[in-house]
Amino acid sequence: MSLIKDLHLAAKHHLKERKRSLALKLAAEILFVDCGLKTSFLYDLNGASVVQIQEYLKELHQMGFIKRPLHVLSIADNILIINVSRTLSYLRLLLDTEDLYVIDVSAQLKQPEMFNQDRLCEIKSQLLDLLTLLRPYQYIKPEKISVADIPSPGWNLCTMFGFLLHFPAVYWFDTSKNFDNCLSFTPLKHFTVQTVCPKIGLQKIPVYSFSIPESVYDSVQALLQTWINGLRQMIHVHSSDFKDLEIITETVTLPTVAL
């Protein structure tokens, strides 16, 4: 109970988060990143600033709740909390692979389709930019909590956030004309990955939530299974923090899908 109280007080003091349930959910998200179960977390709990989040993470280090170098990255007013070493390893893996699993959902398409591998040079160049940006922060002492800002990177943020958040497949769409997509009324396989966190007494916490269009599912099914197996191995390694990984799948069709 002392840890739960301390986590609530830390969120209340630094982030002005008074609800204990949200404070503990946030702590679980940070623990996912610290353990490497997630490479990054997109912070969307409230309107906290980079400095407030930085001070909050410093306190989590001081109480011993997290132990690894984390980085707070602001991209076009979106804030990500990043496990630097885990993300660098993943970016190197993406840059070394011949294929990237990118799903083209541009508005002019009749249905989603896999991105043409011959057109991946620009995306790989952006991944290299991210790698170059994050590399210096792997040497920062964990308790320091590094920060950086990219005001307007000129990237397709949907795609780059998909990679940073370690989704098994990511969306891309042509932004030269508009920001619409072709996912309206398209059957999607929606995946929710959840686990139990006995360390802070939380049941069935969502770790990942993402969708894959049924039209391209066969192309990514093998990769998805490998990705899930990797999560199960991570849960086994960190069994004192997490247990009982569960994958929930449902097919949804929505009138609009925001990316």
For the stretch 176-216, pLDDT in tens is: 777 899 999 999 999 999 999 998 989 999 999 999 999 99
Q: Tens digit of pLDDT for each residue in 54-69?
A: 999 999 999 999 998 8
Q: Is residue 56 part of a domain?
A: yes
Is 259 inside any structural domain? no
What residues contact residue 102 under an 8 Å CB cut-off, 6+ apart? 114, 115, 120, 123, 159, 169, 170, 171, 172
Out of 16-25, 77-86, 147-156, 223-232, pick the least confident.
147-156
pLDDT digits (tens, 9 = 90+) for 112-158: 999 887 788 889 999 999 999 999 999 888 888 999 998 877 888 99
Is there a domain that residue 62 lies in? yes
Residue 257 included in any domain: no
What SS3 class is residue 30?
helix
The number of domains in the chain is 1
Q: What is the mean pLDDT of residues 89-100?
A: 91
Does residue 119 sit within a domain?
yes
**pTM of the shown model:** 0.93
- pLDDT surpassing 90 at residue 89: yes
Q: Please state, in angstroms and rounded to a whole number, the distance separating the CA atoms of residues 258 and 242.
A: 31
Three-state DSSP at 48 gives coil
Per-residue pLDDT reduced to its tens digit, 12-67 = 999 998 899 999 999 999 999 999 999 999 998 788 999 999 999 999 999 999 99
H helices of 63-209, in order, are: 84-96, 121-134, 157-164
Please state, in angstroms and as integers, the Cα–Cα distance from residue 30 to each residue in 11, 42, 213, following that order.
12, 10, 29
Judge whether 214 lies within some domain: yes
Tell how strand 70-75 and strand 146-150 pair up. parallel
* Structural domain includes residue 191: yes
pLDDT at 238 over 90: no
Query: Which of 108, 251, 248 has the alpha carbon at shortest distance from 185?
Result: 251
**Can you give the pLDDT at residue 77?**
87
Which residues 6+ apart lie within 8 Å of 75 measured at CB? 149, 150, 153, 157, 160, 161
Residue ranges making up the domain that contains 164: 2-252
Residue 1 clears pLDDT 70, i.e. is over it: no
Cβ neighbours of residue 154 closer than 8 Å, sequence gap 6 or more? none
Q: Is residue 25 in some structural domain?
A: yes
